Amino acid sequence: MQDTMKSIISTSGREASVRRYRALIEKLGLEDEVAYSKFSSDVADVDSKVDPAVFTAAIRESCLGGAISKDIKALVIPFCDELHETALEVQSVNTIVNKNGILKGYNTDAFGFRQCIESAIDVEVKTGIIYGYGGVTLVATHVLKSLGINDIYITGRNLDKAKDRAEELGVSLWSREMCMDLKDKPYIFVNASPVTDSKLESADNFLDSITCCDTSLPRLVFDHELSGEYLIEFTTRHNIKHVKGMEMYVPQMKKQWVLFLEGKASATDIEKALDDLI
């Protein structure tokens, strides 16, 4: 296994992220204390996915913490010693901090999503439609409920999978019939699926759910994707407020690094350095 001493390791390790976070560490003058790297293991992971047991063992052995981008956000939970209340409620961990051998799991995705939605909503909204049924849907459902948006519907390419996720989360399955109830009511639409960099017509149920069969349009659209050019074009054409995934990514990233570098740099310095690097 790679040398993980004083490291912060990531299951993703995108080139742009690696460059940014190494620059952050250098900007804060911590290059002799902290390293940032993509996690790698000599263990053959099933289906090329990171083994949550191996990943958390590496953090416990010698790392400051670990960042989790996908795949194992729920699977690492049994290997954490403690969970922050949000991670416990969402049952998803994207940040693990090693506190003297005690692994504590956090979910900074929820923090970022709540912050960007709260700042964007300009009217009272009681209804939300979520397209997708993966890990982002867990976070979105939790945050929308915490904001008093309790009338939530889930949809996606596969309505059977959407139905299972809706039942699991105690919300409703989207249907064309329910759209009539939304006429003249403000609602929020959340895209939690990687479909908006292609023509929206190619994603089953997407246009029907975002327009609700032309009976209504959302007051606000959030796209988890960082680019999502086709959804940007759609919201611009219909004069709908659009919240880009970057508006969630930035606050969650700041929160994550404040947790990683606690005791090594102030929150103000970390946030300012990241602003300069983004």
- As annotated, the active-site residues are 73
Give the CB-side neighbour count of residue 93, counting CA atoms within 13 A.
29
Beta bridge partners of 14: none
Q: Which two tokens stand for residue 63?
A: 């790392």
Question: Phi/psi at 120 (nearest 5 deg)?
Answer: -95, -30
DSSP class of residue 107 equals: -
Rounded to 10°, the helix 159-169/135-146 angle is: 40
CA distance readout (Å), 129 to 25, 61, 112, 192, 225: 39, 42, 19, 10, 16
CB burial of residue 160 (10 Å; 0-12, 13-18, 19+): exposed
**Separation of alpha carbons 87 and 106, rounded Å:** 5
Cross-strand bridge partners of residue 37: 9
Instruction: Give which of 97, 86, 111, 70 is closest to 251, Cα–Cα.
Output: 111
Taking the C-alpha atoms of residue 243 and residue 246, their distance in angstroms, rounded to an integer, is: 8
d(CA 162, CA 190): 14
First to last CA, the chain: 31
What is the Cα–Cα distance from 143 to 141, expressed in whole angstroms?
Answer: 6
